[in-house]
């Protein structure tokens, strides 16, 4: 009997192994059918891209063993008198490898319609941008971001024929509005009716799952943050950039950070790099990705805790046409920020993270989120996510003293003059006081005085620390360079700054 049972088991096992292989052949008995895309593998596998961007190049710092736990300098010399000199030796739980639109419209119909419309949609946006901006980048020969990408120099805005910056600055707001002279009107989403998150091509090249079939990113790469961005940790400031030239994802976060973070922070980082259903990237038929998707992760948008200027629509406004474009903001320095979200003024990182997870990411809509796969996360895990987000630091500013002002012996005359303008005639310091250069408030610039669009209402103040690494500027990215931003506020606040004062102000902003 035992031999018979063994024989039967063997036959069942053989059938289980053979039948899938037989079924994989076509009816003609030739080539096996092509397997459908594996969403899990797509979400975890970055694509090889040419290493031709300066910030992609790995230097000695990236390849060093400085990040190893054995290289860490203790925070106190007193540890040498403590057991094991303050080090965790032997078994460590968190590193133990054994620790386990139209009703009844089909997707194909929507897909074909959007694909057919896409060239016209993007051509329309291109013409609009070229009518507003000179998109030929002028790059600074000496000012670069943390990993080496040169910053673009402006201003880029095109003025109406017969108008100069000086003449425009002397024109009353009402006249600017009536004659449609304001050079920085709101920057629209390329396809407002669809809206949703749009990723730049440099990011899609590495992660094709982020490609949309209905719309593409619209701003040239030269006016965007570097990719991948540097990562600075406020718990390990001595390490500088800890990104090692990689984009943090579900496939490498553990290797990169197991020796730099606590178990709670590491678990929070795991949640931040785990894809969850989102409005445009999900398995449902109203998605905007060609193939069903697991969704996107928090750090798909906040790449390396920073941004690549991805944009979407404000979640807090209806109807659809009244919503405005929003750039993804950096998470750098989140530990010093007391309000979150451009409009909602949420008062904790936990509340912000939970709200966005439960409303399909940046759409304020729990109904659609439930359909796509609402992600209700426990407050414990939310706390872990918040702990991790609060670790992202701003880039070092070696010319600033501990109070956040320029150290005279380390600054140039232009930078010192720019600081004087910043805290004086420019009135920048009213909303951006040192040392962190934000006031934890929301302000209404009343832009409807200058443009024919309704104003955006109160928008939260964003920190200016590390600002040269976060182009484009303003909540919708309408100012492509720091020079454009200074021009914008010179007009909106009626400052009447001279060109020299504006140049000095830009010089100061670059060293924050």
DSSP per-residue letters across 396-409: P-TTB-TTSSB-GG
Residues found in the chain: 512
User: Quick one: 453 exposed, middle or buried, by C-beta within 10 A (0-12, 13-18, 19+)?
Assistant: middle
Per-residue pLDDT tens digits of the chain, which is 512 residues long: 444 545 445 544 444 444 444 454 444 556 667 777 787 777 778 888 888 889 888 999 999 988 887 777 665 665 556 666 656 566 444 444 433 355 567 889 889 999 999 999 999 999 999 999 999 999 999 999 999 999 999 999 999 988 999 999 999 999 999 999 999 999 989 888 888 999 999 999 999 999 999 999 999 999 999 999 999 999 999 999 999 999 999 999 999 999 999 999 999 999 999 998 888 898 888 889 999 988 899 999 999 999 999 999 888 887 788 888 999 999 999 999 988 887 777 788 888 877 777 665 667 777 777 777 777 788 899 899 999 999 999 999 999 999 999 999 999 999 999 999 999 999 999 999 999 999 999 999 999 999 988 888 899 999 999 999 999 999 999 999 999 999 999 999 999 999 999 999 999 999 99
DSSP per-residue letters across 51-95: --SGGGS--HHHHSSTTSGGGPPPS-GGGGGSGGGG---S--GGG
pTM (whole model) above 0.75: yes
The b/e string for 414-435 (b: 16+ C-beta within 10 A; e otherwise) is bbbbbbbbbbeebebbebbebe
Of 228, 176, 183, which Cα lies nearest the Cα of 202?
228
* 8 Å CB contact between 354 and 366: no
Q: Per 3-state DSSP, what percentage of the chain is helix, strand, and coil (rounded to 5)?
A: 40, 5, 55
With the C-alpha atoms ordered 274, 276, 281, 285, is the resulting torsion angle positive or negative?
A: positive
* 8 Å CB contact between 256 and 248: yes
Residue 356 is encoded by which pair of tokens? 């966005």
- d(Cα 309, Cα 246) in Å, to the nearest integer? 18
Residue 10 is encoded by which pair of tokens? 């063997």
């Amino acid at each position: 009997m035992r031999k018979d049972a063994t024989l039967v088991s063997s036959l069942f096992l053989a059938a289980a192994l053979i039948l899938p292989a037989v079924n994989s052949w076509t009816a003609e008995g030739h080539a096996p059918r092509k397997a459908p895309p594996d969403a899990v593998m797509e979400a975890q596998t970055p694509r090889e891209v040419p290493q031709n961007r300066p910030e992609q190049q790995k230097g000695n710092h990236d390849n060093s063993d400085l990040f190893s736990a054995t290289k860490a300098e203790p925070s106190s010399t007193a540890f040498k008198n403590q057991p094991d000199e303050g080090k965790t030796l032997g078994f460590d739980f968190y590193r133990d490898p054994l620790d386990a639109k139209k009703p009844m419209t089909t997707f194909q119909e929507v897909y074909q319609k959007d694909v057919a419309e896409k060239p016209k949609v993007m051509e329309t946006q291109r013409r609009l941008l070229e009518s507003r901006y000179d998109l030929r980048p002028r790059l600074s020969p000496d000012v670069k971001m943390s990993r080496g990408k040169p910053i673009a120099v402006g201003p880029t805005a095109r003025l109406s024929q017969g108008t100069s910056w000086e003449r425009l600055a002397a024109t009353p707001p009402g006249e600017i509005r009536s004659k449609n002279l304001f050079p920085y009107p709101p920057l629209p989403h390329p396809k407002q009716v669809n809206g949703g998150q749009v990723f730049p091509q440099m990011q899609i090249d590495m992660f094709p799952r982020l490609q949309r079939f209905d719309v593409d990113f619209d701003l040239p790469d030269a006016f965007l943050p570097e990719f991948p961005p540097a990562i600075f940790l406020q718990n390990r400031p001595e390490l500088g950039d800890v990104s090692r030239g990689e984009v943090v994802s579900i496939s490498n976060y553990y290797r990169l950070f197991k020796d730099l973070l606590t178990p709670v922070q590491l678990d929070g980082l795991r949640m931040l790099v785990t894809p969850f259903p989102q409005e445009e990237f999900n398995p449902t038929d109203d998605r905007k990705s060609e193939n069903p998707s697991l969704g996107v992760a928090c750090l798909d948008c906040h790449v390396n805790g920073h941004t690549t200027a991805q944009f979407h629509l404000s979640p807090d406004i209806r109807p659809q046409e009244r919503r405005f474009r929003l750039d993804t903001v950096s998470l750098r320095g989140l530990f010093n920020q007391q309000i979150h979200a451009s409009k909602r003024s949420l008062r904790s990182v936990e509340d912000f993270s939970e709200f966005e997870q439960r409303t399909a990411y940046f759409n304020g809509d729990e109904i659609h989120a439930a359909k796509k796969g609402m992600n209700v996360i426990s407050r414990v895990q939310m706390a872990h996510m918040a702990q991790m987000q609060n670790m992202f630091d701003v880039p070092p500013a070696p010319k600033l003293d501990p109070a956040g002002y320029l150290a005279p012996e380390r600054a140039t005359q232009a930078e010192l003059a720019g600081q004087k303008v910043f805290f004086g005639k420019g009135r920048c310091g009213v909303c951006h006081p040192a040392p962190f250069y934000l006031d934890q408030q929301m302000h209404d610039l009343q832009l409807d005085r200058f443009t024919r669009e309704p104003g955006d209402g109160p928008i939260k103040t964003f920190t200016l620390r590390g600002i040269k690494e976060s182009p484009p500027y303003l909540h919708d990215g309408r100012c492509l360079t720091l020079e454009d931003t200074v021009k914008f506020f010179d007009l909106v606040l009626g400052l009447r700054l001279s060109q020299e004062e504006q140049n000095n102000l830009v010089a100061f902003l670059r060293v924050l």
